[in-house]
Amino acid sequence: MKRTSTILIADDEPDGREVMAALLRSSDYEMVFAGDGQEVLDQAKAVQPDLILLDVMMPVMDGFEVCRRLRADPVLAEVPVIIVTALGDQQARIKGIEVGADDFISKPYNRLELRARVKAVTRLNRFRRLQLERAKFEWVVEQADDGYVILNGQDAFVYANPQARLYLDLPDGSDLAEGDLKFIQTVKGHYRLEPMEAWVTWPDEIPPNAATPPRYLVRPETAIADARWLQVKVLETAIGAEPGRIVRLRDISTQVKSRNDVWTFHNSVSHKLRTSPAVMTSSLQLLEMHIDQLSKEEIKAFADNALKGAKRLRDEIEDVVQFLNVRTLARPGEGFALEALAPLVKEVAAEMGEMSVAISVAPELAQARLALSHQATEILLRELLENAKKFHPRHRPTVEVSVKQGPGRTVSLRVSDNGLTLSGEQLAKVWTPYYQIEKHFTGEAPGMGLGLASVAFLIGGVGGTSRMTNRPDGPGITVELIVPLAWAA
């Protein structure tokens, strides 16, 4: 709808205001009035007119002072002002130019001249405002996190903001004005259209009374990039006199991944927490049904099996609880003394059994302290040594624990074993909660896939980093933790 221009008529004489209003009324302007200089400023702030017709001689403050104050106001500085002066008053015109007037009209009014000048000024101001609003819109769109493209009626690009160019792999300097580049052809080169039934009507929309199915552009996960999901929303519009559309591309990959993670967590925990009770239940049921026919050795075997299932269930529940609480571990100011590392490693290894461990700490770090509590250090060592044993082919690993100077005020804590060699995909995901290395998830591998995620949280919580690589000199992996040193008290 075309907006009516608002004109503020400022004259201290009611007759003067009424005459001017009568001369302009047939042009369908919206008119407001002011009788003194202060009222002009108040009305201008209230309605932000498209034009002010300003009489020079007014009480409180004259028209020149009003114009000067308007030009000093950041909100009203661009409002056009036509000063009304007496015929031939050259000095008034000069002073009007000095204070920022845009034009002049002489009394007595020439009706045709008045209407022509007002029409020209309001049209120019309308254009200026449109340009300003367009500039604001373009600035917002250019900075937006969403991608925006404008398409013409032939589905060709008219405009694409930087984020859309990134999503659709359009060169930054490419000129879209020629209209040769089609949207649907471009997106098909990079994405899968999902669901297909939502895209069959593109570029022609389904009838207005039908619900438009949600549309997505999906780039599947690759070895070097995560999957990307773009939600596509369309606004039918017009580009000049031609039909067109504005398309918003919103990256919802994080939401989709979170939803999938919840699903993975649900399935992982459900499977894990069902496996151990199933072992316990079946063993105890068989024991109950056939106890009179079983030998002591067979009874012991069934009881041992049930006990293993109970211990495993306990350990799995403890894994979940520890992971949920790992971020809240306190860090005392003194930190963990590296001189206590060797005894702690040996203690943990002895509990696990069938493990050979070698420990070395650089001499210059013998008196240093890690920015970790004793409890946090024990947790991460226990997780790393437990993994070394769990994934060794014979569950009898040889482990090397070494501490050297890291970059800045950090140390490099390395734990190497001689067990499995992992693929690049596995190495990239080992720090992910509930991820397990076994190729096909069976629920039989011990643990919940939370150990390394807990290590990553502990190290990240003190500003460190975690990395896992395959050993270059044989089978096995090396976990390197870059851990900040505790500041001296």
Q: What is the mean pLDDT of each run of 10 residues along the chain (489 residues)?
A: 76 88 80 93 92 90 92 89 78 86 83 85 76 70 84 85 88 64 88 84 60 79 74 75 82 76 55 71 86 88 86 73 54 76 92 92 92 83 89 92 94 94 81 56 43 77 87 92 80
What percentage of the chain exceeds 70 in pLDDT?
A: 79
What is the per-residue pLDDT for 39?
94
DSSP strands (E only) in 368-464: 369-370, 398-405, 410-416
CATH fold for the domain made of 6-141: Rossmann fold (3.40.50)
For CATH 3.30.565.10, the residue range(s) in the chain are 329-484
Residue 283, both tokens: 């063993």
Say if residues 51 and 34 touch (Cβ distance below 8 Å).
Answer: no
Residue 175, both tokens: 């000129």
What is the per-residue pLDDT for 222?
66
Q: Which CATH architecture has domain 144-251?
A: 2-Layer Sandwich (3.30)
CA distances in angstroms from 171 to 9, 157, 357, 481, listed in the order given: 52, 13, 55, 40
What is the per-residue pLDDT for 477?
92
CATH superfamily of 329-484: Histidine kinase-like ATPase, C-terminal domain (3.30.565.10)
For CATH 3.30.450.20, the residue range(s) in the chain are 144-251
Residue 440, both tokens: 């096909």
Could you read off the pLDDT of 73-102 as tens digits, one per residue? Answer: 988 888 999 988 875 667 888 888 889 888
**Rounded CA gap, 445 and 132, in Å?**
64
Q: Which CATH architecture has domain 256-325?
A: Orthogonal Bundle (1.10)
For CATH 3.40.50.2300, the residue range(s) in the chain are 6-141
CB-neighbour burial class of residue 359 (10 A; exposed 0-12, middle 13-18, buried 19+): middle
For residue 95, what is the enclosing H or E element?
A: helix 90-99
What is the per-residue pLDDT for 439?
41
Other residues' Cβ atoms within 10 Å of the Cβ of residue 165: 18
**Rounded CA gap, 186 and 320, in Å?**
46
What is the per-residue pLDDT for 107?
81
Q: Is the dihedral of CA 93, 99, 104, 106 positive or negative?
A: negative
What is the per-residue pLDDT for 444?
42
